[in-house]
Amino acid sequence: MGALRDFVADLLESEGAAIEPVEPDGLEVLAPERLRAVMGWPEFARLGFAATLPTGAMPIGLEGDWLDRFGAVLGERGRFAERQLVVADNIAAPSDPQRLLDHALDLPNAIWRLHTAKPTWTRCLLLAFRYTAISDEKRDGLVWLGFNQGTGAVLDGDFLRRLRTHLASVADWQVPEQDARRAAGVTWDAATVTARIGRLVEHHVRLDLEPFLNAMHRRLDRDRGRVYTYHDDLRRTAQTKLIALTSASGEKAEADRKRETLRIAAIEREYVAKLDDLRHNYDLRVTVTWMQGLTLFAPVQRYDVLIKRRKQERSVRIDWHPAIRTIEPLVSDWGLGVGRARLVCDDHLHLTDPSGQAPCPSCGKAWCRACHPAACPRCSWAA
C-alpha cells in the first residue's frame, strides 16, 4: 500500500494538511476545516495503509468509499492532462523497416509495399474507465484504452501496457511544445471519440470480469443444485405418501390424499420462489464511468504503406514508437482493432477485423461490414 499512502500524502498536503509519516506504513494528519468536512475526520487523524496498523489508526484501503472521498477532494482536477514524451537522442529508427513491417502486418488477402518513412509527432489518447459489477458479490476494476489519433490505430494489449509502464517510470512531466502540437495534427472531436470507445470499453470490461463471472456462475449452480435437492427430497417424500394412500378408502384417506396433494403443490411453488430469489440475488449490474484521460504527444517513426487488393490500392499510416521500441497495430475500419490480422474488402479497400468479412449466416455470401454496416446486401439479413 505504499503507492496509496504516497498518493494520499500528496493529496492532503496539496489541500493544506500537515503530514507526518508513522510506522508501520501510516500517516499522522493535522487537517484544515474544509478537508475535515469532506473526509469526515477530526482535526488530528492517524491513518494506516497496511495489514498492521499504527496504534489508534483508521484503516485506509481501496475498498469501501475511500476512493469516492478522495475523489470528492480532487473534484475535476487531474481528470484530463497533456504530456509530451521525451525520448533519448540515441534511439535510432529501425534499420530494416521492411523486416519490421513484415512482422507487424498480417494481410491474408492483400499485398503491401512501403512508400515513405519519416520521423514525426503524433497524439495518443489514453483513457481510464472504472467499472463496478454487483451481483451476490461486488467487483471494482479499472480498464485503459488507447488510440493513436494520427493513424487511427487502437493501442491495446502489450503495446499499451508497455507504454503505460514507460510513462510511470519517467518522473519528469514535459509540457507539450508548440512544434510537437503542430506536427501531431488535429485532435479528434468528441463524437469521434465516443463512437470509438463504446464497444471497446465493453470488450475490456467483459475480459476483466471473466474470472468474476465464472466464479459467480459456479456459486449460482451450487446454490441452484442445493435448492433443487432439498425440494426434490420433500416432493419425493410427499409423493411416496400419496402413492401409499392410492388404494385406501374412507374420509380420513381422502383427507390425507388432499393434504399430500396440497403439500406437493406448495413445495413446487416454494421451489419456483426460491429460484426467483436466486435469480434476483445473482442478477448482475455493471456500471462504467470515465475516470481520467491523457493526451500524449509522442515522437514516432511514421511509415506510409500502400495496400493493394486486386487493381486498387490505398495508403495507410503505421507508427513505430521509439520510447518503447514497438510498432503499433494497423488501423481497422470495422471491429475492435485489437489484433494484428486485417482483411481488405474488394469495393473500397476497407481494413476490417476478420469477422468484418465473414459470410452471411442467412445466405452464405461474405460481405464487408464497413461497406454495409446495417445488413447483408444480398438478402438484407440484419447484422
Considering the domain boundaries, does residue 157 fall inside one? yes
Each residue's pLDDT tens digit, 193-205: 999 999 999 999 9
218 pLDDT above the threshold of 80: yes
Each residue's pLDDT tens digit, 318-374: 999 999 999 999 999 999 999 899 999 999 999 999 999 999 999 999 999 999 999
Considering the domain boundaries, does residue 159 fall inside one? yes
Q: Which of these, 114, 159, 130, 146, lies nearest to 294 by C-alpha position?
A: 146
38 and 13 within one domain: yes
Considering the domain boundaries, does residue 342 fall inside one? no
Long-range contacts of 145-149 (CB under 8 A, 24+ apart): 145/197, 145/200, 145/201, 145/204, 147/188, 147/193, 147/196, 148/122, 148/123, 148/124, 148/319, 148/328, 149/122, 149/123, 149/124, 149/125, 149/184, 149/185, 149/187, 149/188
Distance CA 225, CA 46 (A): 48
158 and 53 within one domain: no
51 and 118 within one domain: no
Each residue's pLDDT tens digit, 230-251: 999 999 999 998 888 887 888 8
Percent of the chain with pLDDT over 70: 99
User: Cα 275 vs. chain centroid, distance in angstroms?
Assistant: 31
Considering the domain boundaries, does residue 34 fall inside one? yes
122 and 160 within one domain: yes
pLDDT at 2: 73
Q: What is the 3-state secondary structure (H, E, C) of the chain?
A: CHHHHHHHHHHHHHCCCEEEEECCCEEEEECCHHHHHHHCCCCEEEEECCCCCCCCCEECCCCCCHHHHHHHHHCCCCCEEEEECCCCCCCCCCCCHHHHHHHHCECCCCEEEEEEEEEEEEEEEEEEEEEEEECCCEEEEEEEEEEECCCCCEECHHHHHHHHHHHHHCCCCECCCHHHHHHHCCCCCHHHHHHHHHHHHHHHHHHHHHHHHHHHHHHHHHHHHHHHHHHHHHHHHHHHHHHHCCCCCCHHHHHHHHHHHHHHHHHHHHHHHHHHHHHHHCCCEEEEEEEEEEEEEEEEEEEEEEEEECCEEEEEEEEEECCCCEECCCCCCECCCCCCECEECCCCCCEECHHHHCECCCCCCECCCCCCCCECCCCCCEC
Distance CA 333, CA 328 (A): 16
Compute the CA torsion angle 209, 214, 220, 221 (nearest 10 deg).
160
Domain hosting residue 70, numbered range: 2-76
Distance CA 5, CA 58 (A): 13
Type of residue at 147: F
**What is the average per-residue pLDDT within 93-121?**
94
120 and 195 within one domain: yes
160 and 14 within one domain: no
Answer with the one of 254, 283, 312 that is the final residue of a domain.
283
Percent of the chain with pLDDT over 90: 64
User: Cα 352 vs. chain centroid, distance in angstroms?
Assistant: 22
Considering the domain boundaries, does residue 239 fall inside one? yes
Into how many domains does the chain fold?
A: 3
300 and 195 within one domain: yes
pLDDT at 11: 85
pLDDT at 332: 95
pLDDT at 383: 65
Q: Which of 6-15, 96-105, 194-203, 289-298 has the lowest mean pLDDT?
A: 6-15
Considering the domain boundaries, does residue 278 fall inside one? yes
Considering the domain boundaries, does residue 196 fall inside one? yes
294 and 242 within one domain: no
Q: Which of these, 359, 308, 319, 314, lies nearest to 333 by C-alpha position?
A: 314
pLDDT at 111: 95
pLDDT at 334: 95
Considering the domain boundaries, does residue 345 fall inside one? no
21 and 91 within one domain: no
67 and 35 within one domain: yes
Distance CA 57, CA 45 (A): 8
Whether the full predicted model's pTM is greater than 0.85, yes or no, is: no
Q: What's the CA angle centered on 34, arms 33 and 40, to 5 degrees?
A: 80
118 and 31 within one domain: no
pLDDT at 58: 83
Q: Which residue has the cell 472531436?
A: 189
Q: What's the CA angle centered on 10, arms 132 and 175, to 5 degrees?
A: 90
65 pLDDT above the threshold of 80: no
257 and 148 within one domain: no
